[in-house]
Amino acid sequence: MNDKRMCSLALFPPPPAPGDITLYEYNNALVSELGYENLPLTFQGQLENLPALTIPKETLKTHSRLEHSTKPAFIHHRESLWKRCINAWRDIGVAGVLEELANAEEESDLDEETNEQSWVDSAKELVLRWMKTGSRCTLTLCCWVSSLHGSFFPHLSLQKEDMIAKFSQAVDWASCPIRAFAWHPHTSKFAVALLDDSIRVYNANSATVPILKHRLQRNVASMAWKPLCASILAVACHSCVLVWHLDPTSLSTRPSSGCAQVLSHPGHSPITSLAWAPSGGLLLSASPVDTAMLVWDVSTENCIQLQWFGGGGVTYLAWSSEGSKVLAATPSAVFRVWEVQMWTCEKWPTIKGPCRTGCWSPDGSRLLFTVEGESVIYTLSFLEYSGEQKGKVGGSKTASIVADLSETTFETLFGEERIGGEVHSMVWDPSGERLAVIIKGSCDSPKNQTIIAVFRTRNSPVFELLPCGFLRGEDGAQPQLVVFHPCFKKGALLTVCWSTGKISHIPFFFVTAQFPSFTSEQSPLVPLGNRSSAREQPLFSEL
Amino acid sequence: MVSPKHDREWSGFICSWSHLFAFLSIHIFSRIFLQHRISNELILFLQFSILDAFNDLYTSYVIFCILLMSVVIVVINIFIVEFHAVVPSIPCSRLALISKIIHPQQVIHSVAHAVMGMLVAWCAAIMTKGKFLLLSVPCTNTESAPDADLHVCLNEYHLFLLLLGAFMGYSYSLRYLVNNMNYLPFPIIQQYKYLRFRRSLPLLAKHSCVESLYMVRNFCAAYYFFGYIPRTWIITTMNLQTDSKLPLLDTVAGLLDLSLLYHSWLCGLFLLMTWYLAWMLFRIFATEAHHFPVQATFVEEADQCLPKILNSNPPSLLKFLALQDLMFLSQYSSVRRQEVFSLSQPGGHPHNWASISRDCLSLLNDLTQKLIIHQEAAAANGRLKQPPVGDPRQPPTSPGAAAQENLFQSPRSNLIPRAHMPSLVKSSLLPLKTSPVSDLGSNVGSPFSPFPHKSGLIDLSSPWHGSIQSPHIMRRGPKLWTSSSDIPWTSSPYETRPMIPVAKSANEVVPPSHFYIWLQNKKEQLKSFLAKRVLIMYFFSKHPEASIQALFCDTQMHIWALEGLSHLVAASFTEDRYGVVQTTLPAILNTLLTLQEVVDKHFKLPHVSSKPPRTSGNLADTSYKTLRFALRASLKTAIYRITTTFGEHLNAVQVSPEHKKRLQQFLEFKE
């Protein structure tokens, strides 16, 4: 914090008192009240009766069946080795056969009593032994190679669930009742993915709540509604992408699994991130295991692989809202920015760790991102997109730090509070005026909690980032996910999913700078932004 | 003309490229695979092979081989260029497929490929050396020495390889036809050529390996049974002898020669790789996006600008490229969009926009009409399949009723709706065909003038009224079927009712004589007689999926027109300074909504699957099979793109009340 012009947590107003719940922002100040759940009457009409709901963990049925094969239901039956090998070949492939051979036991124990082993039996045994040693050697070699591979890319040695939990945008993906959340881009409709692998779709204008369940819908990491479409939802699952075609006029609460399109590609699982092209049509999917991200033409189920080795996979995708660029984060200390006309990319190595999250300004000219292991927000600016520079991303040479979120102590009336740490996820509202950031507290100090910080932002003529305040939920509720409503007319509307299973909508009432009819910008705070050069750090190398 | 120049340019490009690759691949391939065994030590082998390669380059045989291979590649390229198509031809029945195979053009293709396959195999045999080198070898008989010089024996290995080459060439040609490999699929995203090449290379290699394996297997089977025919022929014509020491190759023992099989496989791999490489390079080069100017800066270039090409009737590849370019410019390039929205310098007419929008709309209207005709045919068919027991008034016992119904199935009766069509088509297209200047001139004052509700009073000079009375709506009068019912034609027996008056009216026009009825009856009997013969049905029965694919085979064009048009309209909300788009907005909306209605109806027909079939990772692109799904999706997206951009302003646009209702649903995101 040697640089005074950089926005830091010390400039924030102190967090709300414990027990207070942040309700809304008005006149540039966050209003929180003690134990008061609803908005004041004057503001209630503004929200178009959005459903605020609570889905407690206890009501969700956890998986009754963990294994998907029917094997455990039957009595163990000893088959001959060849049969087992053939079965393993059918189920798993070559690896299964090798495993089966390596674990093969001597089968001649029945014949041992006869004591008259013919030469056929002994030859059989010899062959079996050879095959056993051979397959064992192959298996160890494979293990060794994969561990070597894993030492380059440590995330590959994780279990699939752990991998999703590590790269998901939800703070506590593994145990929180809400795993993913998605607003429809044009209407007041949202989908919530729950711990029991079901998805519920809530609509402000209808009481029907469709519940989506599918055999392949497991470990939902992310969801996205198709833009320029009434009701198509893409779901990133454990092994595939499911695209649900929901009928918006239907009153059914359980759409059949026939409404879902299954998009799968070998070697592309688990899928942790999805992004639709803002012009409709194309869907991007990414998996931390696959070095290629896939561009799907959903209507025809064709896909094109965008292969780019290095990085070991793709963990997070963010398509800029005007549709010209895509951020693709990898599990290693590098991320890429693709331009979507010719699908070329620029590579940006980071210093400390992998890119954790990122978001685009509404005009696609600025990218904010955070890096694991650092408690700062970086920015990258891009050329204004005109479509004439074909195949060029046009990023600036260096990324600069715009906010320092390292741990800060606030002296409040109720004792001191420590806030700050790494950023887990970050969202920018569609008008480009508010930025919400989930700051993950460090594990060692129990006083430091996960909290949401809100910034006020301005993108033109110069980029400015001003503190706005901290958001607090009920007692003991940790923020899990934050999403901005894509078309809230009176400012911005932040939807927060809490670890208790509560989903609350927090409106920020302001007049957007695009319509400067009346300016009520009486900022109580001194505007502090990074005017020109806020500690420029050489962060990346141009290709 | 622009087009031939373009084509030639491309083929020249491609030839040179594939030459380069072929040349390299031939030599590397021949050195690495055909001569050396895999058991050789790797490093030594690489060093020697490179040295060896240079040494061998000077032997006349190899140079001749390479020249010959170049000639083969050129001929292959000529065939690829000549046979390419952007619209695949899909045979609807097995008979059509057979007639395609015995079509003279295809016969020439097959024979030429067989010959070239033989040449490639000969080259491979030369480069392999060893026992494959020559067709005739001195006999290794254990007879006396002077005798051995006199007798020349047939080298059956060489013959085997040559015949394999011919077989592969022929089956390649057949596959080329059956898999529609001449079809040029346009990729869903734009990429640089090198990246596309790199991306498809592994698939190509894998596919060639597997296919070569299968072809060698098939050839072995064929040779086992028929191998003696060419062998005896060669022996008798060239006066050779058979080597009694070596086993004959049309026996099991002879075919189980591993070295022979391995070399055959390599030879096949070599052939397929070089040919597929040329084919893939052509696809990549031909489908690369091309930049057409919107406005010509010089008079000579006037033929090459986008509105001109869309308006004229160029080769279909050029038209496809122009539409693709329209889609890209509407989506990505604000500068070129400005040119589209601009006014002409003297006069101030929006010629560019008027021409582009008119051509796109006429494309889409054509599709609408095609779909309506198909739906009517399908509805008639579906009705006939329905046993009309549900209709109590008209028990179809008399042969006359059968004849009436048959009217709608026999090809002759198809002429009746077609005969009606042109007048409707004309009425819908007439205003669009009139000069845009007068259209716009008459409406400059009030772009959203009130809409006359009686269709008889429509002012034909205004550009949008024409498509309001689109054939679909117009037909409703005489046809008496309601478009609001979402039930497909065949699902309920009551649907048969509206058709009967039509059949009657058709009868009234041409009163059937007894002879005619008798003739129809006989025809029907003959048909049912033939239908019982399985073999004939096998050849004649139309595959429903194939006929639907054939219906939508050129839909890529319509998808681009839709996307281009909708992006342009959406961009006009902020970029169109003179309001040129506003004047055509009602026409565009009407066309899109009518098409939407028709497409919706199409997907509710029987035999129409609502989901695309699973595609495997096949080398031959089968994207033409799923174009209708892409059309459905992009049509909806296009309408949503316009409605979300304009929002409530669309209420001011004059459209028919029915379309207004539809638009409202789109505005509320309920479609």
Residue B483: burial class (beta carbons within 10 Å; 0-12, 13-18, 19+): middle
- Asked if the Cβ–Cβ distance from A387 to B333 is below 8 Å, we say yes
Instruction: State residue B53's pLDDT score.
Output: 55
Enclosing domain of residue B561: 299-381+541-668
- Give the separation between CA B112 and CA B80, rounded to whole angstroms: 12
B199 in the same domain as B78: yes
Chain B partners within 8 Å of A387 (Cβ): 332-336
Rounded to an integer, the average pLDDT of B172-176 is 93
Question: Is B414 a member of any domain?
Answer: no
- How sure is the predictor about A115, in pLDDT bands with cuts at 50, 70 and 90? low
- Out of A184, A302, A343, the one facing B623 most closely (by C-beta) is A302
Cβ neighbours of residue A236 under 8 Å, at least 6 residues apart?
A180, A220, A221, A222, A223, A270, A271, A272, A273, A274, A285
Residue B628: burial class (beta carbons within 10 Å; 0-12, 13-18, 19+): buried
- CA-nearest residue to A301 within chain B is B612
pLDDT tens-digit map of B56-102: 555 677 778 878 888 898 899 889 988 988 898 888 888 888 999 99
Question: Is B174 a member of any domain?
Answer: yes
pLDDT tens-digit map of B395-438: 333 333 333 333 333 333 333 333 344 333 333 333 333 333 33
Mark which of B231, B255, B287 sits at the end of a domain.
B287
Q: What is the DSSP letter of B609?
A: -
Instruction: State residue B501's pLDDT score.
Output: 40
Instruction: State residue A163's pLDDT score.
Output: 92
Which among A297, A305, A363 is the top mutation candidate for probing chain B, defined by the most B β-carbons within 10 Å of its own β-carbon? A297
- How sure is the predictor about B52, in pLDDT bands with cuts at 50, 70 and 90? low
Instruction: State residue B119's pLDDT score.
Output: 93
Question: Is B87 a member of any domain?
Answer: yes
- Give the separation between CA B291 and CA A368, rounded to whole angstroms: 34
- CA-nearest residue to B631 within chain A is A299
Which among A233, A263, A299, A392 is the top mutation candidate for probing chain B, defined by the most B β-carbons within 10 Å of its own β-carbon? A299
Chain A partners within 8 Å of B642 (Cβ): none
B349 in the same domain as B275: no
Q: Work out the minimum CA distance from A296 to partner chain B, whole angstroms.
A: 9
- CA-nearest residue to A300 within chain B is B626
pLDDT surpassing 90 at residue A236: yes
Chain A (127-186) residues lying within 8 Å, Cβ to Cβ, of chain B: 184, 186
CA B338 to the chain's CA centroid: 34
Q: Is B171 helix (H, G, I), strand (E, B) or coil?
A: helix
Cis upstream peptide for A461 (omega within 30°): yes
Which among B599, B636, B661, B663 is the top mutation candidate for probing chain A, defined by the most A β-carbons within 10 Å of its own β-carbon? B636
User: Of all residues in chain B, what percent are helix, strand and coil, respectively (each to 5)?
Assistant: 70, 0, 30
- CA-nearest residue to B566 within chain A is A279
Amino acid occupying residue B381: N
Provide φ and ψ at A174, rounded to 5°: -70, -35
- Asked if the Cβ–Cβ distance from B633 to A301 is below 8 Å, we say no
Chain B partners within 8 Å of A204 (Cβ): none
Chain A partners within 8 Å of B640 (Cβ): 228-230, 280
Q: Give whichever of B29-33, B319-323, B608-612 has the largest mean pLDDT.
A: B319-323
Instruction: State residue B212's pLDDT score.
Output: 94
pLDDT tens-digit map of B363-397: 999 999 999 999 988 887 655 444 333 333 333 33
Tokens coding A184: 């429809």
Amino acid occupying residue A469: G
B230 in the same domain as B349: no
- Out of A184, A249, A298, the one facing B670 most closely (by C-beta) is A249
- Asked if the Cβ–Cβ distance from B335 to A388 is below 8 Å, we say yes
Residue with tokens 């209003």: A31
- Out of A228, A261, A305, the one facing B640 most closely (by C-beta) is A228
Domain count, chain B: 2
Asked if A111 is an interface residue toward chain B (Cβ–Cβ < 8 A), one would say no
Lowest average pLDDT, out of A28-32, B226-230, B389-393, goes to: B389-393
Q: Work out the minimum CA distance from B153 to partner chain A, whole angstroms.
A: 45
pLDDT tens-digit map of A411-447: 888 788 888 889 999 999 999 999 999 998 776 666 7
Top pLDDT among B9 and B194 is at: B194
β-strand A7-8 against A400-404: which pairing, if any? parallel
Rounded to an integer, the average pLDDT of A24-42 is 77
Instruction: State residue A423's pLDDT score.
Output: 92
Top pLDDT among B386 and A233 is at: A233
- How sure is the predictor about A357, in pLDDT bands with cuts at 50, 70 and 90? very high
pLDDT tens-digit map of B327-349: 999 998 888 999 999 998 888 89
B135 in the same domain as B38: yes
Question: Is B293 a member of any domain?
Answer: no
- CA-nearest residue to B670 within chain A is A248
- Asked if the Cβ–Cβ distance from B615 to A301 is below 8 Å, we say yes
Question: Is B253 a member of any domain?
Answer: yes
pLDDT surpassing 80 at residue A391: no
- How sure is the predictor about A454, in pLDDT bands with cuts at 50, 70 and 90? very high
State whether the Cα torsion B90-B95-B101-B106 is positive or negative. negative
Chain B partners within 8 Å of A394 (Cβ): none
Lowest average pLDDT, out of B302-306, B351-355, B402-406, goes to: B402-406
Which among B193, B200, B332 is the top mutation candidate for probing chain A, defined by the most A β-carbons within 10 Å of its own β-carbon? B332
Q: Which of B406, B608, B403 is nearest to B489 (CA)?
A: B608
Asked if B454 is an interface residue toward chain A (Cβ–Cβ < 8 A), one would say no
Chain B (597-656) residues lying within 8 Å, Cβ to Cβ, of chain A: 611-612, 614-615, 623, 626-627, 629-630, 632-634, 636-637, 640-641, 644
Provide φ and ψ at B107, rounded to 5°: -65, -45
CA torsion angle A386 A392 A398 A404 (round to 10): 60
- How sure is the predictor about B12, in pLDDT bands with cuts at 50, 70 and 90? very low
B307 in the same domain as B282: no
Q: How many residues does chain B have?
A: 671
pLDDT tens-digit map of B185-227: 999 899 998 889 988 899 999 999 999 999 999 999 999 999 8
Asked if A261 is an interface residue toward chain B (Cβ–Cβ < 8 A), one would say yes
- How sure is the predictor about B243, in pLDDT bands with cuts at 50, 70 and 90? confident
Do A426 and A357 form a contact (C-beta atoms < 8 A)? Answer: yes
Asked if A279 is an interface residue toward chain B (Cβ–Cβ < 8 A), one would say yes
Instruction: State residue A517's pLDDT score.
Output: 38
Instruction: State residue A116's pLDDT score.
Output: 58
Instruction: State residue B146's pLDDT score.
Output: 52
DSSP per-residue letters across B270-329 = HHHHHHHHHHHHHHHHHTS-----SS-SSGGGGGGSHHHHHHS---HHHHHHHHHHHHHH
Instruction: State residue B503's pLDDT score.
Output: 40
- How sure is the predictor about A386, in pLDDT bands with cuts at 50, 70 and 90? low
pLDDT tens-digit map of A62-91: 654 455 555 556 666 667 778 888 887 877
- How sure is the predictor about A2, in pLDDT bands with cuts at 50, 70 and 90? very low
pLDDT tens-digit map of A256-288: 988 999 999 988 989 999 999 999 889 999 999
Rounded to an integer, the average pLDDT of A469-498 is 90
Q: What is the DSSP letter of A307?
A: E
Instruction: State residue B507's pLDDT score.
Output: 44
- CA-nearest residue to A296 within chain B is B188
- Asked if the Cβ–Cβ distance from B189 to A295 is below 8 Å, we say yes
- Give the separation between CA B76 and CA B176, rounded to whole angstroms: 12
- Asked if the Cβ–Cβ distance from B632 to A299 is below 8 Å, we say yes
Q: What is the mean pLDDT of chain A?
A: 82
Rounded to an integer, the average pLDDT of B490-500 is 38
- In sequence order, what are the beta bridge partners of B153? B137, B241
CA torsion angle A105 A108 A110 A111 (round to 10): -170
Mark which of B265, B287, B309 sits at the end of a domain.
B287
- Out of A186, A299, A302, the one facing B669 most closely (by C-beta) is A186
Amino acid occupying residue B255: L
- How sure is the predictor about B644, in pLDDT bands with cuts at 50, 70 and 90? very high
Asked if B201 is an interface residue toward chain A (Cβ–Cβ < 8 A), one would say no
- Give the separation between CA A40 and CA A24, rounded to whole angstroms: 10
Q: What is the mean pLDDT of chain B?
A: 75
Do B607 and B548 form a contact (C-beta atoms < 8 A)? Answer: yes
Rounded to an integer, the average pLDDT of B547-562 is 92
Instruction: State residue A331's pLDDT score.
Output: 92
Q: Which of A447, A443, A440, A449 is nearest to A482 (CA)?
A: A440
pLDDT tens-digit map of A490-525: 889 999 999 999 999 999 998 876 544 333 333 333
Chain A partners within 8 Å of B664 (Cβ): none
B353 in the same domain as B237: no
Cis upstream peptide for A270 (omega within 30°): yes
- What percent of chain B clears pLDDT 70, i.e. is strictly above it? 69
- Give the separation between CA B492 and CA B489, rounded to whole angstroms: 7
- Give the separation between CA B355 and CA B336, rounded to whole angstroms: 15
- CA-nearest residue to A281 within chain B is B634
Rounded to an integer, the average pLDDT of A469-482 is 89
B235 in the same domain as B118: yes
- Asked if the Cβ–Cβ distance from A300 to B612 is below 8 Å, we say yes
Instruction: State residue A294's pLDDT score.
Output: 94
Q: Give whichever of A109-118, B237-246, B576-585 has the largest mean pLDDT.
A: B576-585
Tokens coding B129: 């050396």
- Out of B190, B614, B669, the one facing A248 most closely (by C-beta) is B669
B18 in the same domain as B83: yes
Chain B partners within 8 Å of A228 (Cβ): 637, 640-641, 644
**CA of A460: how far to CAs of A363, A368, A433, B184, in Å?**
10, 15, 11, 46
CA torsion angle A12 A17 A22 A23 (round to 10): -120
Rounded to an integer, the average pLDDT of B32-59 is 48
Instruction: State residue A250's pLDDT score.
Output: 86
- CA-nearest residue to A344 within chain B is B191
Question: Is B352 a member of any domain?
Answer: yes
Chain B (289-348) residues lying within 8 Å, Cβ to Cβ, of chain A: 328, 331-336
B219 in the same domain as B172: yes
Top pLDDT among A533 and A186 is at: A186
Chain A partners within 8 Å of B623 (Cβ): 300, 302
Question: Is B548 a member of any domain?
Answer: yes
pLDDT surpassing 60 at residue A1: no
- CA-nearest residue to A307 within chain B is B199
Chain B partners within 8 Å of A304 (Cβ): 187-189, 199
Count of A-B CB contacts under 8 Å: 91
- Compute the radius of gyration of chain A from its Cα atoms: 27
- Asked if the Cβ–Cβ distance from B644 to A228 is below 8 Å, we say yes
B594 in the same domain as B564: yes
Instruction: State residue B34's pLDDT score.
Output: 44
